[in-house]
A and B are shown apart, each in its own frame.
Chain A
Amino acid sequence: MTQSGEPVIRVTDLKKHYGDVKAVDGVSFEVARGEVFGMLGPNGAGKTTTIEVLEGLREPDSGNVEVLGLDVCKHPESIKQRIGVQLQSVSLYPRLTVTELLDLFCSFFSHHVPTKQLIDAVDLGERANARSMDLSGGQQQRLSIALALVNDPELVFLDEPTTGLDPQARRSLWDLVKGLQAKGKSVMLTTHYMEEATELCDRVAIMDHGRILEMGTVPELIGRRFKERAVFFDSTPKLPAERLGKLGGVTRAAQEDGQTVLYSDAVPDTIGGLLAMADELNAEPHNLGIRQATLEDVFLDLTGRALRD
């Protein structure tokens, strides 16, 4: 990540509401050139609205929004020449072929990449003459990324690029995004998959109810809240919560999906105490394990609910 030079995105106190609903309620952030920036949050958090304001598809109610150094409200056309856009779940002219669609989109821009090169970049060579309606979900998503790249953009917006894809297709899309960064492009994406944010993003903003709750690199976000690691096992009534909370090293105990999670800054003490206690109470903690805290934990801690609720 290079933090040098002008940021490619600079948003200051962006607000946008629909009727009484504050979709975006005072959001500020910057994205540096060459950076992959992720917005993580549940459906309805305001991610899509934010990204669509940046793409020039929606007018903000207030706030300052600059993309590639230009004001989005004043210069939408010149920005659109230089950015690449992939929208959430768009199906394109279903009866046009991959090549025809790419050619069509190329004609919208003053400067564009050869179609063949785009097809190769997203590995759709064998389906170049297939109609877009006949493509699989993953292929359609790759096509929609190719369409976002026709003008060789400096900055690419990807709105939930892997939603609805199987794990293999998701992996192949991740490789594509990493390839973009390797070519020096800046990427802003939204997702509600924490693995995706962890895997791809240099920095992440966690968004909920139209606000950014926390922003930083993934290790920063986790480190800021969780110095400790998590000891987890299947919850059982034989091990009462109030005693678990007092075990050595435990800073906090929580219940997640039928599991008891003990956040601990001294894992050996905690495990030792837990096993001694289990012995004493004639109970057994099933599926006992230790892990680092994750973005999911951060999100849970920030909002009191899981990401995909």
Chain B
Amino acid sequence: MKTLLGLTVANLKSLTRDRAALFWTFFFPIMFVLLFGVLFSGSGDSKVSVGWVDQDGTASSAGIRDSFGRVELLTFQSGTLENEKAAMQRGDVSAVIVIPKGTQDALVGFKAGQKGSIAVELYTDPSKTQTTQVVQGAVAQILNGINLQLAGGSQVITVNPLTLTSTNISTVTYLVPSILAMALMQLGVFAAVPLVQQREKGILKRMGATPLPRWKLVASNILLRLVVAAVDTVLILGVGIAVFHIQIVGNLAAAAGFVFLGAGAFLAIGFMLASFLKTEEQATGVVQVVQMPLMFLSGIFFPFDFMPDFLRSVARLLPLTYLGDGLRQTMVNGTQVAPLALDAAVLAGWLVVCLAISARSFRWE
């Protein structure tokens, strides 16, 4: 155990003292999150649709509706509270405004000298920062206008802000598990490079001349990558949560399972590549040739449904598709490409097959 730990620490030190490796392992995925986050957080659609629930049903509530209708950024659909909340959960509308019963009475009462106020309910999804800000701004502005016009600035109509989480997740929330999948794929596949390097330099052979058993050499390599996988996961999710307010709502244990299963599967692919590559130059080249198509054909960066049929059948063959899908389902309840069990089975299959091939073909010198 002491040997295994010592060897893992030695590998970890080698990694953290190598600036290029550090960059690719830790900073590159974070840059991806930040970049995609900034690109996609302005949800693309310039108009924000809002559900309108009029429980008052009076001339006043219609007047308020007219005031809102003049805001160019917003479009409205009317319905019952139940329907509109459901629509928001589906993602059809980004917010719901409720004009409660008694709104006209309150306004009339104020003019008659009565005190009191009435609260308009506003449902927004805090994970969608941008649309939430737009809607909250518009609502505040319009209600202020009405208060100024009808009550000389007194707060007759107030806002009661409520939250409602939409299951139709924002683009950033959709992308963060994808970026995590990409990072796990890269850390696995890239593991081929130091391994080939250590063989080429004779380090593996030199270890073979000590009593160190080979399984410990392999185990320490796996241990190192799993530690890196855990750190990457924390970093990527941390940035996603801190900067873009994504919500992790799924089953965390299952998500952790997918993180390690995915890292394991791609590490097995890395080992397999290392079995067939002879020089470090070869390895760096081939690793790129493998990871680029994986990244762009696996459909981790755009919804599966949007892909042309041909690409979809290619994506169905690639393991990264299933890791992305598994992570998305377990972390943010995203829409599924395949059942979770199939995701897990495909990854386990790649892991076993590639590990078996590596065990047969790996050369220590």
Contact = CB atoms under 8 A, between A and B. Distances in A.
B7 A104 contact: yes
Contact of B14 (A55, A81, A93, A103): A93
Nearest to B216: A108
B202 A90 contact: yes
B210 interface: yes
B6 A104 contact: yes
A90 B203 contact: yes
A96 interface: yes
A92 B212 contact: no
A92 B6 contact: no
B211 A81 contact: yes
Nearest to B209: A85
B203 A92 contact: yes
A87 B202 contact: yes
Contacts of A85: 206, 209-210
B18 A55 contact: no
Contacts of A96: 10, 13-14
A91 interface: yes
A254 interface: no
Contact of B211 (A57, A95, A104, A108): A108
A94 B10 CA distance: 11
A110 B212 CA distance: 10
Given A80-B211, A96-B13, A108-B212, A90 B6 contact: no
Contacts of B3: 107-108
Nearest to B208: A57
A110 B202 CA distance: 23
Task: Tell me whether chain B's interface is mostly helix, strand or loop, or mixed.
Answer: helix
A239 to B, nearest CB: 51
Interface string B9-23: 010011001100000
Nearest to B18: A95
Interface in B175-204: 201-203
Contacts of B6: 103-104, 107
Nearest to B200: A91
Interface in B1-54: 2-3, 6-7, 10, 13-14, 17-18
B90 interface: no
B10 A100 contact: yes
Nearest to A103: B6
Interface string A82-117: 000101011111111000100111011110000000
B17 to A, nearest CB: 4
B10 A56 contact: no
B111 interface: no
Contacts of A242: none
Interface residues of A, number: 26
A280 interface: no
A107 B213 CA distance: 12
A175 interface: no
Contacts of A56: 209
Interface in A200-240: none
A191 to B, nearest CB: 19
A57 B209 contact: yes
Contact of A91 (B13, B202, B365): B202
A49 B210 CA distance: 17
Contacts of B2: 107
A87 B13 contact: no
A166 interface: no
B210 A89 contact: no
A291 to B, nearest CB: 39
Contacts of B203: 90-93
Given A77-B211, A96-B10, A104-B7, A89 B202 contact: yes
Nearest to A83: B209
Contacts of B10: 93, 96, 100, 104
Contacts of B17: 95, 131
Nearest to B3: A107
Nearest to A76: B211
Contacts of B207: 108
A91 B212 contact: no
A96 B17 CA distance: 9
A80 B10 CA distance: 22
From A55, A85, A103, A108, residue with most partner B Cβ within 10 Å = A108
11 contacts: A55-B209, A57-B205, A80-B209, A90-B205, A90-B206, A92-B201, A93-B10, A95-B17, A95-B18, A103-B6, A108-B211
Given A56-B209, A85-B210, A91-B203, 4 more contacts: A57-B365, A91-B201, A104-B6, A107-B2
Ranked nearest first, the 6 interchain pairs of A and B with the lowest CB-CB distance are A85-B209, A90-B202, A95-B17, A108-B210, A107-B6, A108-B212
